[in-house]
Amino acid sequence: MNRRTFLIGAVGAAACGSRPRLNVLNWSDYVAPDTISNFENEFGIQVRYGTFESVPEMLAKVMGGNSGWDVVFPSAEYIQPMRDMNLLAPLRHELLQNLEALDAPFRVPPWDPQLQWSIPYMHGTTGIVYQRTLPQPIQAWADLWNPTLAGKITMLDDPPEVFGACLKMLGYSLNSSDPEQLKKAQQEAIRQKKLVRAYLNAEVRDQLVAGDVTAAQAWAVTAGQAITAVPDKLSYVLPTEGFARYADNMAILQESRRMEAAHQFLNYLLRPQVAAAIVAATHTATANGAAQKLLPEATRRDTVLYPPQDTLARGEWFTPQSAASQKLRARLWTEVKSA
Amino acid sequence: MKLRNAFLAPTAALMLLTLVAPMAIIAVYSFLTRGAYGGVEQPWTIENFTRLWDPLYLTILWRSVWIAALSTALCLLLGFPLALFIARSGKRKNLYLSLVILPFWTSYLIRTYAWMSLLRDTGLINVTLQSLGLIKEPLPLLYNNGAVILGLVYAFLPFMVLPLYATLERLDNNLLEAAADLGARPWETLVRVTLPLCAPGIRAGAVLVFVPCLGTYLTSDLLGGSKTVLVGNLVQNQFTNSADWPFGAATSLALMAVATVLLFAVRRRGEELL
Amino acid sequence: MKRGLALYAVAAYAFLHVPLLILAVFSFNSSRFTVWEGFSLTWYRALLRDGDLIEASVNSLIIALGATAIATILGTLAAYGLWKRSSPWVAGSLYLSLVTPEIVTGVSLLALFQWIFRFVHLRLGMHTVILAHVGFSLAYVVVVVLARLRSFDPTLEEAALDLGANEFGAFRRVTLPYLAPSVAAAAMLAFTVSIDDYVITSLVAGVDSQTLPMVIYAMARRGVNPVLNAVSTMIVTGLGILIMVSERLRRS
């Protein structure tokens, strides 16, 4: 099969199936099994649904400005940078009637107070999951530096998160760009490294469930899934020193030629029933207040997903870092990993 | 010679497109400055190269070379007898060769996960050893350098076996018979006749294994628990998390330079590049 | 020594295949954990229902077959050309493509394509992936075929020329048959490299060209997923049967 024949065939095939199209790039495991197909059936639009594991991965794909994707889901601290790179299209609120479904705090989020470029989708926290068999329950980041847990601790493989935990433990801000503070945080990370079993993201879930890992720095969504898998064996705690909050948002790429379809999709995801179905399937916390009301009592009371307001007050959102700060953090992280 | 030129032309054109042009771009990037969130911008600078001359990065490079060399040596040790067996297996050659390749047609990631689930504290190996009473506590088999090397050897074994097989297969049996006639025992023939004769295959295999091992990052992340930085991790980080493309470009050029120097050192005088 | 070699081969094959056998066994496990809970085909059913996975598999196959065919042909010809008279430029660039880390190849190709697409009205897609795959497999093919060419006696071709054949005829009827096993080995290597590639493909794939490794990586990142076991088992079984059948055909 040579390339030219294939190309001709592909063009032919594309010309045949010409329903309107929409290309969506989202985090993995962030929709319910039937979310996309229901949208396709109702609106008659064919959706190409791709996934990514980290924002830098997504950025690498869309930075060129002609990637072919229409809708993406950046985290909060990337909205401003993507704006600076002219990647986002302004949102037309007249096409988004379901905006009112959003929970009050998420209608004026600090990273996009007028929702001009993004709409909050799902949110969460970063805390610690631990086995209940521990003699003392874990309460603070400092507990992850406990030598008795050597070889059984994992941290996230994510520099902002690891440094975030260290900074919080030292009493500083998550988003510190002060070289002194960052270096102290790095020292803590290096001190902890010999106790760390591995730096793991979502993969730690299975190891928590299996019991290989006793305590892990983890995202709320991972914690929720692990706890659901083995009820009564694991607990999730938001450390006393403070913790990170994250929010993933929907946005439309500037390059998209399918503005109407894209807005229809965003509006569809804002529907309370749709959002509630997604939450039921993925165990995340939604920014959609109307959807929350549709959730079962148990889910709404779930402190992993919806911590009480006073606890949330200890949380801090990530903000974009200056280039100098990024460079310093990158270097410090390399030193930690190489230690 | 016309035939030879015609034969080389398509490859030359393809190399121009898929290698020379992209490399030129990378070289250009390495002299620029990082953009705020990725990409490159002016001013021009050599800072990315001077940054490399730092104990931190040199240690990382040394560690990578060491692990790659060890993995290559193990591949050679394990792969040679296997290639020998296949080359001498007569009618079943293709079958045995296919059986070597077959595991590698499943995804590398799947195979790595197979090893991860085997080596875990609650994985099959530890569970079996514990139930047999041979150990009390699970052995920490995963998330260390040993696991990384195991993963590398497992991943790149066919890249050693195939070239070795290709040279061994056409070894002139007369030479081996002559050696036997002259009184050499099988081992002697192996070491003093067979081995030197398949030197090209050994060198080809070594190149095909050493270089990817040097640039690997998935293995050290998955089997090493992301606890160590190899050059591959460093480069990958620059192009993703750290969003420092120029430094990533400079590091890549340095990595390629190191690989080239080492492989040159292993060459015989007068022998061709490949 | 023949005995020793055979025993070693058994051990080596065990090392290669046992992890996959274990994956296969657990693909029939009704539980998703390493504890055996009972025989079940749920994961296979889930696999067959996963449209993305199937489409990605088809894409992977198309790309691998296409790239292997092109790379093997071009690579064999190039190896022959280099053997006749070396070309520092071609040999040098092939060598460079080998020593370049995958991530660099991927990023540099992405940069190149994005630059080209400013002038030519194209996007990333199957064609860019196949092009990239041919680019990095060529060197493997050349290395394998060239290694074997080094032990080929050039006087055989000369004899053919003396007997009235032209250059191409001599190549086709004298050298090529000699090269056949190594061309086959090189093709297998190229196929393996292509179907297994994650890093480069993920960077230059377009919206419509998801490949199997990309889907697998996305699934595996979230932890142990028995559907992956099912995928692995199906691939191994399918290809295994293919190999057995071709062996039978070849021998009859």
> DSSP 3-state assignment of B15?
helix
Can you tell me the mean pLDDT for A226-236? 90
- Placement of tokens 């830098």 in the chain: A56
Instruction: Determine what percent of chain C is predicted with pLDDT higher than 70.
Output: 95
Residue A70 scores a pLDDT above 80: yes
The verdict on residue C242 lying in a domain is yes
User: For residues B260 and C204, what is the distance between their CA atoms, to the nearest angstrom?
Assistant: 26
C30 and C139 both lie in a single domain = no
Assign A317 to helix, strand or coil.
strand
C66 shares a domain with C12:
no
In the predicted structure, residue A2 carries a pLDDT above the cut 60 = no
Comparison of pLDDT for C80 and A52, the residue scoring more: C80
Q: A53 to chain C: nearest residue by CA?
A: C218
Torsion of Cα atoms, B147 then B148 then B150 then B156, to 10°: 160
Q: Give all chains having 3 or more CB-to-CB distances under 8 Å with chain B.
A: A, C
> How far is C62 from B61, CA to CA, in rounded Å?
37
Which residue blocks in A121-175 are alpha helix, DSSP H?
Answer: 159-170
> What residues of chain B lie within 8 A of the CB of A199, using their CB?
225-227
- The verdict on whether omega for the bond into residue B43 sits within 30 degrees of 0, i.e. cis, is yes
Domain tally, chain C: 2
pLDDT of residue A168: 94
Single pTM value for the model: 0.83
Report which listed range, A191-205, B176-190, C143-157, C228-242, is most confident: A191-205
Closest Cα of chain A to B181: distance in Å?
A: 52
How large is the average pLDDT for residues C34-54? Answer: 82
pLDDT band at B168 (very low <50, low <70, confident <90, very high): confident
Domains and CATH numbers, chain B: 55-266 (1.10.3720.10)
Instruction: For chain A, list residues whose CB is within 8 angstroms of any CB belonging to chain C.
Output: 1-3, 6-7, 10, 23, 28-29, 48-51, 53, 60, 64, 66-69, 201-203, 205-206, 209-210
Residue of A nearest to C224 (CA): A206
Q: Is the pLDDT of residue A17 over 50?
A: no
* C6/C124 same-domain check: no
**How many angstroms away from the CA of C185 is the closest CA of chain B?**
6
Say if C129 is an interface residue toward chain B (CB within 8 Å): no
Q: Which residues contact C142 (CB under 8 A, 6 or more apart)?
A: B11, B274, C75, C78, C79, C82, C94
Flag if A200 and B226 touch (Cβ within 8 Å). yes
- Does B193 score more than 90 pLDDT? no
Place B105 in a pLDDT band, splitting at 50, 70 and 90. Answer: confident
Whole-angstrom distance, CA of residue C177 vs CA of residue C24:
39
| pLDDT over threshold 90, residue A28 | no
Within 8 A by CB and 6+ apart from C72, the residues are: C141, C183, C186, C187, C190
C45 in any annotated domain: no
pLDDT (tens digit per residue) in B207-234? 889 888 888 888 888 888 888 889 888 8
Provide the ipTM: 0.81
| C85 and C32 both lie in a single domain | no
Residues B5, A289: Cα–Cα separation, whole Å? 70
In a domain, C138, yes or no: yes
Q: Is it the case that residue A13 has pLDDT exceeding 60?
A: no
Please tell me whether residues C22 and C60 are part of one structural domain. Answer: no
**C91 shares its domain with C164:** yes
Confidence of residue A178 (pLDDT cuts 50, 70, 90): very high
Those of residues 87-126 in C touching chain B at CB distance below 8 A are: 87-105, 107-109, 111-112, 115
**Set of chain C residues whose Cβ sits within 8 Å of the Cβ of B7:** 77-78, 80-81
Summary mean pLDDT of chain B: 85
Report the chain B residue with the minimal C-alpha distance to residue A326: B242
CA dihedral of residues A203, A209, A212, A217 (deg, nearest 10): 60
Provide DSSP, B23-71.
Answer: HHHHHHHHTSEE-BTBSEESPP-SHHHHHH-SHHHHHHHHHHHHHHHHH
From chain B, pick out residues whose CB is under 8 angstroms from the CB of A190. none
Is residue C147 in some structural domain? Answer: yes
Q: Is the domain of C22 the same as that of C86?
A: no
Q: What residue of A is the nearest CA neighbor of B227?
A: A337
- Whether residue B240 and residue A327 make contact (CB cut-off 8 A), yes or no, is no
Contacts of B56 by beta carbon, 8 Å cutoff, 6+ apart? A331, A334, A335, A338
Contacting residues of A for C218, CB less than 8 Å apart: 28, 51, 53
Angle at CA A221, nearest 5°, toward A112 and C26? 140
Buried residues in B161-189 as b, exposed as e (16+ CB within 10 A): bbbbbbbbbbbeeeebeebeeeebeeeeb
Mean pLDDT over residues A195-219, rounded? Answer: 89
Nearest to B112 by CA among B147, B67, B159: B147
In a domain, C166, yes or no: yes
**Does the beta-carbon distance from B225 to A200 stay under 8 Å?**
yes
H-helix or E-strand spanning residue A244:
strand A243-252
Measured N-to-C along each axis, helices C51-84 and C42-49 cross at an angle, to the nearest 10 degrees, of 80
With CB atoms and an 8 Å threshold, state whether A338 touches B121: no
Residue B234 has its nearest CB partner, among A81, A210, A334, at: A334
- Chains linked to C by 3 or more Cβ pairs within 8 Å: A, B
Is residue C81 included in any domain, yes or no?
A: yes
- The C-alpha atoms of residue B19 and residue A85 are separated, in whole angstroms, by 29
Q: Within this chain, do residues C5 and C82 fall inside the same structural domain, yes or no? A: no
DSSP state of A338: H
Q: What is the pLDDT of residue A1?
A: 42
Domain annotation covers residue C180: yes
Quick one: pLDDT at residue A258?
92
Query: Where in the sequence is the domain holding C16, given as residue range(s)?
Result: 1-40
Which C residues, 33 through 62, put their C-beta within 8 Å of a C-beta on chain B?
34
Do residues C157 and C244 both lie within one domain?
yes
Q: Give the Cβ contact number of residue A42 at 10 Å.
A: 10
Structural element, H or E, at residue A216: strand A215-219
Residues C68 and C118 in one domain: yes
Q: Give B60's contacts in chain A (Cβ within 8 Å).
A: 334, 338
Same domain membership, residue C61 and residue C23: no
Indicate if the pLDDT at residue C161 is higher than 90.
Answer: no
Hey, which residues 179-208 in chain C have their CB within 8 Å of chain A? 203, 206-208
Establish, for the pair of chains A and C, how many residue pairs have beta carbons separated by less than 8 Å. Answer: 68
B95 neighbourhood in chain C, CB within 8 Å? 243, 247
**Residue C208, φ and ψ in degrees, nearest 5:** -100, 5
pLDDT tens readout for residues C84-125? 888 888 888 888 888 787 888 888 898 888 888 888 878 888
Beta strands B40-41 and B33-34 are antiparallel
Q: Supply the CATH number for residue C69's domain.
A: 1.10.3720.10
pLDDT of residue C238: 81
**Quick one: pLDDT at residue A12?**
45
User: pLDDT tens for residues C167-183?
Assistant: 888 888 888 888 888 88
Residue C95, domain member (yes or no): yes
Do C117 and C135 belong to one domain?
A: yes
d(CA C150, CA A305): 65
Q: Do residue B84 and residue C97 have CB atoms under 8 angstroms apart?
A: no
DSSP 8-state class, residue C119 = T
Is the pLDDT confidence value at A15 over 50? no
Search chain C and give the residue with CA nearest A65: C114
C12 touches chain B (CB under 8 A): yes
Find the closest chain A residue to B221 by CA distance. A199
pLDDT category, A11, cuts 50, 70, 90? low
**What are the residue ranges of helices labelled H in chain B?**
2-15, 21-30, 47-52, 55-87, 93-101, 108-119, 124-131, 145-169, 173-181, 186-189, 195-197, 199-214, 218-222, 231-239, 245-266
Q: Which of B24, B28, B59 is CA-nearest to residue B228?
A: B59
Q: Is B139 helix (H, G, I), strand (E, B) or coil?
A: coil
Give which of C227, C201, C228 is closest to C60, Cα–Cα.
C201
**Neighboring chain A residues of B59 at a CB cutoff of 8 Å:** 338
A 10 A CB-CB count for A322 gives 10
Q: CA-CA distance, C193 to C133, in Å (whole number)?
A: 8
